[in-house]
Amino acid sequence: MTDAKTYEGGCHCGRVRFRVETTLTQAIECNCSICGKRGALWAPLKAQQFTLLSGEDALTDYQFARKKVHHLFCENCGVGAFSRGAAPNGEEMVMANVRCLDGVDIAELKLRPFDGKNL
């Protein structure tokens, strides 16, 4: 992965912390019901690009519709900093909520729309 950087992030209260290694130039803006209500912007990652540093015990899992994506959130502050699931090719993947990454200026990213509402 060329020009990859390491970012750390987490939930509002700090119980859930993680590290990602990625080239962050854009974010996915999904229009499905949960992403819209959360205001989440997503960075897709291969599982090996994501490291949970702390807070596994603080995560609560929410699933809906097809129940293929694990929408994880902190049981203390309620922030959904990342989700886990499978890519279309079946590989395990993580979607990091870019709004939860420390020091990222959202205005510098290209937002790529995704029509999750009609899946």
Does the residue 118 lie in any domain?
Answer: no
pLDDT digits (tens, 9 = 90+) for 28-74: 999 988 899 999 999 999 999 999 999 999 999 999 888 888 999 99
> Comparing C-alpha atoms, which of 14, 41, 39, 17 is closest to residue 112?
41
Distance from the Cα of residue 60 to its chain's centroid? 14
Does the residue 16 lie in any domain?
Answer: yes
Does the residue 78 lie in any domain?
Answer: yes
Cα torsion 91, 27, 100, 119 to 10°: value is -60
Question: Looking at residue 37, which CATH number applies to its domain?
Answer: 2.170.150.70
Does the residue 117 lie in any domain?
Answer: no
Q: DSSP characters for 73-118? A: EETTT----EEEEE-TTS-EEEEEEGGGBTT--GGGSEEEEE-GGG
Task: Count Cβ atoms within 10 A of the Cβ of residue 106 and give its class: 0-12 exposed, 13-18 middle, 19 or more buried.
Answer: exposed
Helix (H, G, I), strand (E, B) or coil at 33: helix
Residue 2, pLDDT > 70, answer: no
What pTM value is reported for the model? 0.91
Range of the domain at 20: 5-109
> Comparing C-alpha atoms, which of 50, 41, 49 is closest to residue 18?
50
> Comparing C-alpha atoms, which of 41, 43, 24 is closest to residue 93?
43
Does the residue 116 lie in any domain?
Answer: no
Residue 15, pLDDT > 90, answer: yes
Distance between CA atoms of residues 79 and 100, nearest Å: 9
**Number of domains the chain contains:** 1
Report the pLDDT value the prediction gives residue 68, as an integer from 0 to 100: 84
Does the residue 46 lie in any domain?
Answer: yes
pLDDT band at 103, cuts 50/70/90? Answer: very high
